[in-house]
Structure 1
Amino acid sequence: MLQCPKSSVNRLSVHHLLQLSAQFHQVRAKSGRPPFKNRYDNKDDNGDGYTRKRNENQEDRLQLYKSRGQHLLTNPRILDSIVRSSGVGPGETVLEIGPGTGNLTLKLLEVAKKVIAVEVDKRMVEVLNKRVSERGFGDKLTIICEDALKTDFPDFDLVVANIPYGISSPLIAKLVFGGYQFRNATLLLQKEFANRLLANPGDSEFNRLAVNVKLVAEIDHIMNVSKRDFVPIPKVDSSVVKIRLRSEVPNLDLNEWWAFTKTCFGKKNKTLGATFRQKKKVAELLNLSKLTSLDENIEKHDSCNRSDDEEDEWEDSGTGVKSFKEKVVGILRNAGLEDKRPSKLSNEELMHLLSLFNEAGICFHDESRPVDINASFAAS
């Protein structure tokens, strides 16, 4: 270890200081430690302009963006379990959404006939192509470099994917209501989201998302996955679920169903009677159903400015609003559902109530407005 002479530093000669500096760098060089860097230099050793302060995949040295849901599953045991759980066979085509650098893709290519990978990040596509080519699977992989929510999927037999958290709800809506025919979808989802998807009537997590998906599909929980199995490590754990389309689905107007469940689950723990007594809701249904000529007496602007929590009686008998509200509440009362909460009702009970409303000429879907499926799938 170098030591300075006992004399003060300001009394050292320039020659002596240079000698000490040379000795210091000689010792540092022998230790194998890298030379000092300018703390204000943001360039790395190659001068490519990227800073060292970043989350990287150690294998491919890519900057991963948590905001885009880019968390790569790296545990080979979990990857193998997902592939086995999917039941993929040698004659099947698998759709993978968000393959990233290909950890799951390579496992799928070992057993599937073909994999269709949809990846929006071109950097990931380059790494994926390279890894697949090195393993000799290039002829079995088709990559679609597009946004999965905006592109049409070619025919496929199965879906196996580690879905970016931010697009879980709209992507599931696209799969189960998009007209695609597939055997099952094995999806890695945020654990909290998976719990809402799996929830049943009476569960605290039961919501509009579960109601809509379970109308056309069955959902099973496969396993939980620790956040420590990802790079970079997310804030929450994940779960694997399997979704299977039902062979028979109810014959109803989906647009009407989505609008109806959106109304019921706007405040899922509120009784249906309280929800349908709201002045704003009564006026909205009256305008949609067009049962009376109230266009000059019930103005949409005024009704939309009313509070959702207003439930007191309207005495405006001259316009027929009061009688219409009584008709709505009467349907709930006759069905024995006036004091029921939507979070406690099964799909069969909800479908029965919707049919009673429709038979009475009460509609929920505004045909003049485009259908917002994503809003209908919000897990309220």
Structure 2
Amino acid sequence: MLQCPKSSVNRLSCHFLLQLAVQFHQVRAKSGRPPFKNRYNENDDNGDSFTRKVKENQEDRLQLYKSRGQHLLTNPRILDSIVRSSGVGPGDTVLEIGPGTGNLTLKLLQVANKVVAVEVDKRMVEVLNKRVSEHGLDEKLTIICKDALKTDFPDFDLVVANIPYGISSPLIAKLVFGGFQFRSATLLLQKEFANRLLANPGDSEFNRLAVNVKLVAEIDHIMNVSKRDFVPIPKVDSSVVKIRLKSEVPNVDLNEWWAFTKTCFGKKNKTLGATFRQKKKVAELLNLSKLTSFDEDIGKHNSCDLSDDEEDEWEDLGTGVKSFKEKLVEILKSAGLEDKRPSKLSNKELLYLLSLFNEAGICFHDESKPVDINASFATS
């Protein structure tokens, strides 16, 4: 509280100053701006005018929805680093997913031949168009106002994007398995998600996502990005990764591969022997497999009625089902993988095991059901 001396002159001066302060805060309140003490991030190490200006303009003009992953990267040094890391040149067409208000877009337009920006939020598109127009870069930008997961992409050389966290997995699946030909994808992702994507066999975070992506692509970690570099500030930090498609990929039926890895990584720390001895899994694979010697038992046993407890008795299931289970275990033993855990296996070992199963007529993909790539990219 302001303390005033008891003299009449000083009392009048203090009264005048208090009136000015009240009027000032009333004007600020009408403008809709937050109080000074909350307006800027006190922990912002950058302290540059660009960041402050972006925060003012974008927070005041647009309501950003965290539920939609609308976190705008505002640190110009990080934006410049992402552009440099992507390797974009004057002859390149860049695909940007979720450009928001254009902080990264403007950087890309300065060095690329063309940028194709896919943004579903019409409010963002309006701001993006205005900002690009003010910089005289309209002719180099094409905006597609659609859902990136549901729209077709035109030809592009590179992907550079700050991806909304909620679509990271399905979007990466679309990029690496969608038949596109591009040099690389430089993506800003949630740090935890990026760590799972980068994980190797034996790492605690190794999972089905990494297994499937690394079948067709190489992934490199570029840098970490603090959550304080975004508006609004998310709950977690982020990382930039670079994905490059392999020039040569294994000759494998992808539907079979996705279904096989889903089976193996359902419980990634359980041994393969334990997984393939489960009654429910044995009956499921028996019904899917192209085997004639066990046809008499197919249809007798509904896999949904069977327990997952591998210790249950098998006598009531018939000799065909028991023989099929023994066949599964025999294949695991021949590969030397019965006691191995999926979380410690390389893609080479998994591919070899799948080839042995397929050669024996054992299948994992249900051809009667549509393929759900996204389900196979879950990070279990």
TM-score band w.r.t. shorter chain: 0.7 to 0.9
Equivalent in the alignment of 1:58: 56
Against the structure 1 CA distance between its residues 93 and 237, is the aligned structure 2 distance closer, same or farther, given a 3 Å change threshold?
same
Distance 1:350 1:299 in 2: 28
Q: Greater helix share, 1 or 2? A: 2
Map 1:10-21 → 2, pairs under 5 A: none
Map 1:136-147 → 2, pairs under 5 A: 136-147=136-147
Deviation at 1:129, TM superposition (A): 0.4
Distance 2:378 2:299 in 1: 34
Match of 2:297 among 279, 282, 294: 294
Equivalent in the alignment of 1:177: 177
Distance 1:188 1:328 in 2: 42
Equivalent in the alignment of 1:197: 197
Distance 2:18 2:160 in 1: 52
Distance 1:180 1:73 in 2: 27
1:33 to 2:26 alignment: no
Against the structure 1 CA distance between its residues 369 and 298, is the aligned structure 2 distance closer, same or farther, given a 3 Å change threshold?
same
Equivalent in the alignment of 1:214: 214
What code does the residue aligned with 1:240 have? V
- Is the 2:274–2:310 Cα contact (8 Å) retained in structure 1? no
- Is the 2:101–2:127 Cα contact (8 Å) retained in structure 1? yes
Against the structure 1 CA distance between its residues 130 and 317, is the aligned structure 2 distance closer, same or farther, given a 3 Å change threshold?
closer
Equivalent in the alignment of 2:349: 349
Distance 1:215 1:229 in 2: 33
1:243 is paired with a residue whose SS is strand
Equivalent in the alignment of 2:282: 282
Deviation at 1:261, TM superposition (A): 0.1
- Is the 2:280–2:304 Cα contact (8 Å) retained in structure 1? no
Deviation sequence 1:103-126 (CA, Å, 0-9, x none): 000000000000000001111100
Against the structure 1 CA distance between its residues 309 and 126, is the aligned structure 2 distance closer, same or farther, given a 3 Å change threshold?
farther
Equivalent in the alignment of 1:19: none
TM-score when normalising by structure 1? 0.86
Deviation sequence 1:22-61 (CA, Å, 0-9, x none): x999765433634769xxxxxx848xxx998999942232
Deviation sequence 1:45-88 (CA, Å, 0-9, x none): 48xxx998999942232111111111110000000000000000
Distance 1:296 1:119 in 2: 49
- Is the 2:273–2:339 Cα contact (8 Å) retained in structure 1? yes
Equivalent in the alignment of 1:7: none
Deviation at 1:168, TM superposition (A): 0.4
Deviation sequence 1:155-185 (CA, Å, 0-9, x none): 0000000001111000000000000100000
Deviation at 1:351, TM superposition (A): 0.3
Deviation at 1:152, TM superposition (A): 0.6
**Structure 1: unaligned runs, 5 residues or longer:** 4-22, 38-43
1:330 is paired with a residue whose SS is helix
Equivalent in the alignment of 2:45: none
Map 1:51-130 → 2, pairs under 5 A: 57-60=55-58, 61=60, 62-130=62-130
- Is the 1:57–1:63 Cα contact (8 Å) retained in structure 2? no
Equivalent in the alignment of 1:230: 230
1:249 to 2:239 alignment: no
Deviation at 1:297, TM superposition (A): 1.9
Equivalent in the alignment of 1:374: 374
- Is the 2:188–2:238 Cα contact (8 Å) retained in structure 1? yes
TM-score when normalising by structure 2? 0.86
Distance 1:80 1:35 in 2: 37
Equivalent in the alignment of 1:14: none
Distance 1:239 1:311 in 2: 44
The CA RMSD measured in Å over matched residues stands at 2.5
Equivalent in the alignment of 2:49: none
Greater Rg over alpha carbons, structure: 1
Aligned length: 351
Equivalent in the alignment of 1:324: 324
Distance 2:256 2:267 in 1: 18
1:158 to 2:148 alignment: no
2:296 is paired with a residue whose SS is coil
Deviation at 1:318, TM superposition (A): 3.0
Distance 1:157 1:140 in 2: 15
